[in-house]
Amino acid sequence: MAIVIDKSQRWRVLAAHLALILLCAAVLFPLLMVVSISLRPGNFATGRLIPEHISLEHWRFALGLPVRAADGRMVTPDLPVLLWLWNSVKVAALSGCTALLLSTTAAYAFARLRFTGKRVALTGLMLLQMFPSVLALVAIHAIFTRIGNAFPAFGVDSHLSLVLAYSGGIALHVWTIKGFYETIPVEIEEAAKVDGATPWQAFRMVLLPMAVPILMVVFLLAFIGAIIEYPVASVLLRHQDHLTLAVGSKMFLYEQKYLWGDFAAAAVLSGLPITVVFVLAQKWMIAGLTAGGIKG
Amino acid sequence: MPQPSPLRRMLAPALAAVAVLGALYLVTLVYAAGETLLAMTLLATTTAALWIYTSPRTYAYRYLFPGIAAALIFVVFPMVYTFTIGFTNYSSGNLLTFKRATAYLVEEVYRGAGATYDAALFADGGRVRLRLQDADSGALFSAGPVALDAGRAVAVQARPAAGDAPEAGQQLPLKALIASQAALKRLSVTMPDGSLVRLSGLHEFAPVRLRYTPNPDGSLTDQEQGGVIRPDWKTGFYLTADGRQVQPGFQVPVGWGNYKRICTDASLRQPFGRIFLWTVVFSALTVVFATSLGMVLAVLLSWDALRGRSIYRLLLFLPYAVPGFISILVFKGLFNNNTGEINLILHALFGIRPTWFSDPFLARSMLLIVNTWLGFPYMMLICMGLIKAIPADLYEAAAVAGAGPLTNFFRITVPLIRRPLTPLLISSFAFNFNNFVLISLLTGGHPDFLDTTVPAGTTDLLVSYTYRMAFQDSGQQYGLAAAISTVIFLLVAAICLVQIRTTHIAEEERR
């Protein structure tokens, strides 16, 4: 695009490559280091980036298999990484479904129906998003303690309490889905209504099938959001077996009990799938958002 | 369209009726459990749902109701509730509601005068037999069999046992005895001489009486020491006649008390001011560093002469894709003073081992380094999008006029993306203002100030300070923490207003 190619351009390109490579190294260093550390023997081992001795003890620990301790005994790991991962996935899947249920219908009302208070409700939802739930932790804790007095299944230290606490944060999802609905011409639904469909049928049988790509994107966003959520989960979950990964991972790096190598294995084990999903979803999200409902 | 069959037409109202009845049953249960507020919320939600799903005038709201109700109950209500808690003395010392504190006191017992008995328990089917031995005279009594139940009071009559005759059944081991303590506490045994004994130690029964009896005026009469204790609505404790507080305390409104403490109590005001300052500096510097780096990278990656840009972009995007809780903890390990890789490298290169976690300045620098690492990819993506929108002929004209890359950057790129970027910078500032996860996972707020009574850290942000106050090392001061949270709410609201204004300006510019 540049019309005039300077002599200095070659040097500038080289310098840019150099700078970018250095920066990429700085970005990758911690990530590669973790993989390396997870393969080193012992929790205080140091060494090169490519370990000389490969030991799978940390991976056995992360997978919950018995590990040979320093004194030769076989010990079962005391931190249930796989259970935490399962808890995280369970909570995230449930909150993803809740978010979908709550936001698809609300977005439909905002995109297609006329009612009083629409503008207020829309801006209100958006403003709510500005106040992070970490500011209301005391109240959330108090509320779920009280709910637990009546229904222990929904009280503090239950996974359902977490799903409930996350269910209110749908503002962004509503906006995303609403934006997608608005790209679909109203005429399609109106044609269905002319054929005798009720608004509910027009929504359920005409609009919803066309919105599947955006619904999957929203599900993924809500899913990832719930997996990486830390503050509310750290307040609501207590018992070690109930923790999610985000809360549990912290227990590896206490000063009295510093399980650096075991943490590295657990971090790779749980972080890799989430990262891959996120990178894929990111590409796919843009594709989902640009693909409209008007095709053929 | 064919008419639906009568069965189908009846289905919806029938289901609605069942749902309403079920909800009302739940409300009654919750109310009976003493959670009036929760019962009212449930009742209000049920009523609203009933109205919205039956009245034809509220059709649009049928779609909105579930989502809006969830947002109101789990987002708006906690905020309002935070403000309310900020006006109470809710803390570990005043944990219970008045009702529950009173119930606790009324159930409290004391040991009266009379003989004490050593108890042994024997299993007898699903029930137990007791053998009680008078600790002074050695006389033996037996009672039961009786079914223990922690849920209700159980009474049993004891009778003199015949000499050393062994009790039937297997004696319960200590472990089982400990496990059934709660149930044993509800057991009262009437001895042959008419005295009433209850569990007073691990396996000791003694005449035990209820300590407090309620009076009609709300006070409680102390049966053990005499006198009357009365609830004091100022401090949230029952007080004896000479002003002594009786545990447990209960929650009472204290008006502006918490806010007064923040403003006037020197041990709170000082750390509050310093932490507020650090919070602002931290969020501002994070935004500056992350945006500068992100913007430069965006410009570089928009440069057509550069090859392999998509690979660079993917690699540089990674910090954004890795879950935050994992990368922050990874950095915690890498920065470790003794075994961390960063110090190993620094030691090998320069012979230094900075104490990242115990020196306030270094700890703060570490936070900024990590947060820049975490934050620049987002800024990079945003800036790349904005740069794409700049017409290419501007650069061509600049090239014709002989402008270098620096001139391009400062005279064309920055001025053109500054306005649309501003609202995003402000929301990034607001986000980092409340970046609890980073602080909590990396430093936990440490190292602490040495001159404060309430623990406060040199790297604490306002949110992590309130979190520590409420849930960690300062005695669960929920009321005070809620008051500070309210202050943060107001600050965030102010930032929010500024952002709305700048967004409007950016939108008007675009037109």
For residue A291, name the pLDDT band (cuts at 50, 70, 90): very low
* CA A189 to chain centroid: 33
Residues from chain A contacting residue B91 (CB–CB below 8 Å): none
The pTM for the full model equals 0.82
Comparing CA positions, the residue from A227, A244, A260, A27 lying closest to residue B330 is A260
How far apart are alpha carbons B261 and B268 in whole angstroms?
7
- pLDDT at site B382: 87
How far apart are alpha carbons B98 and B233 in whole angstroms?
10
Whether B184 and B199 have beta carbons less than 8 Å apart is answered as yes
- pLDDT at site A90: 94
CB-CB: which of B324, B341, B400 is closest to A33? Answer: B341
Range scoring the smallest mean pLDDT among B260-264, B463-467, B473-477:
B473-477
- pLDDT at site A200: 85
Q: Which of A36, A119, A138, A238 is the best substitution to test chain B (most B C-beta atoms within 10 A)?
A: A138
For residue A296, name the pLDDT band (cuts at 50, 70, 90): very low
- pLDDT at site B87: 92
- pLDDT at site A294: 37
Among the residues of B3-126, which ranges form H helices? Answer: 6-32, 36-54, 59-71, 77-85, 98-106
Residues from chain B contacting residue A203 (CB–CB below 8 Å): 63
For residue B165, name the pLDDT band (cuts at 50, 70, 90): low
Whether B179 and B87 have beta carbons less than 8 Å apart is answered as no
Q: Is the dihedral of CA B305, B306, B311, B312 positive or negative?
A: negative
ipTM for the predicted complex: 0.87
Q: Is the pLDDT of residue B452 over 80?
A: no
* CA B59 to chain centroid: 37
Task: Using CA coordinates, name the residue in chain A closest to B344.
Answer: A46
CB-CB: which of A24, A167, A275 is closest to B315? Answer: A24
According to DSSP, the residues that pair with B190 across neighbouring strands are B157, B196
CB-CB: which of B33, B471, B492 is closest to A235? Answer: B471
Mean per-residue pLDDT, B422-440: 90
H or E stretch at B396: helix B392-400
Range scoring the smallest mean pLDDT among A116-120, A166-170, A202-206, B190-194:
B190-194
According to DSSP, the residues that pair with B197 across neighbouring strands are B189, B207
User: Higher-confidence residue: B495 or B267?
Assistant: B495
Q: What percent of chain B shows pLDDT beyond 90?
A: 16
Whether A163 and A93 have beta carbons less than 8 Å apart is answered as no
Average pLDDT for chain B: 84
Q: Is the pLDDT of residue B297 over 70?
A: yes
Q: Is the pLDDT of residue B1 over 70?
A: no
- pLDDT at site B360: 92
Q: How many Cα atoms are found within 13 Å in the side-chain-facing hemisphere of B171?
A: 9
**Residue B197 Rama label (left phi>0; alpha psi -120 to 50; beta):** beta
Q: Is the pLDDT of residue B295 over 90?
A: yes
Q: Is the dihedral of CA B414, B417, B423, B429 positive or negative?
A: negative
Strands B204-210 and B109-111 come out as: antiparallel
Segment B269-286, tens digit of pLDDT:
888 889 999 999 999 999
Mean per-residue pLDDT, B212-239: 84
Residues from chain B contacting residue A138 (CB–CB below 8 Å): 82, 85, 466, 470, 478, 481-482, 485
Q: Is the pLDDT of residue A288 over 80?
A: no
How far apart are alpha carbons B351 and A278 in whole angstroms?
40
Using the beta-carbon criterion (under 8 Å), do A13 and B434 form an inter-chain contact?
no
Q: Which of A212-216, A251-255, B288-292 shows the highest mean pLDDT? A: B288-292
Segment B353-380, tens digit of pLDDT:
899 998 999 999 999 999 999 999 989 9
| E strands, chain A, in order | 67-68, 74-75
Using the beta-carbon criterion (under 8 Å), do A105 and B64 form an inter-chain contact?
yes
Task: Using CA coordinates, name the residue in chain A closest to B472.
Answer: A235
How far apart are alpha carbons A30 and A37 in whole angstroms?
10
Using the beta-carbon criterion (under 8 Å), do B399 and A3 form an inter-chain contact?
yes
Residues from chain A contacting residue B430 (CB–CB below 8 Å): 130
Domains in chain B, CATH or no CATH each: 6-85 (1.20.58.370), 109-210 (2.40.430.10), 266-510 (1.10.3720.10)
> How far away is chain A from the Cα of B373, in angstroms, using its nearest Cα?
7
Residues from chain A contacting residue B297 (CB–CB below 8 Å): 20, 23
Helical packing angle, B266-301 and B462-471, nearest 10°: 130
Using the beta-carbon criterion (under 8 Å), do B82 and A139 form an inter-chain contact?
yes
Distances (CA, A) of A48 to A258, B87, B156, B351: 20, 56, 73, 18
Token pair in block for residue B136: 């002074």
Token pair in block for residue A68: 């040979």
Strands B220-222 and B212-214 come out as: antiparallel
Quote the longest CA-to-CA distance of chain B: 117
Q: Is the dihedral of CA A17, A23, A26, A27 positive or negative?
A: negative
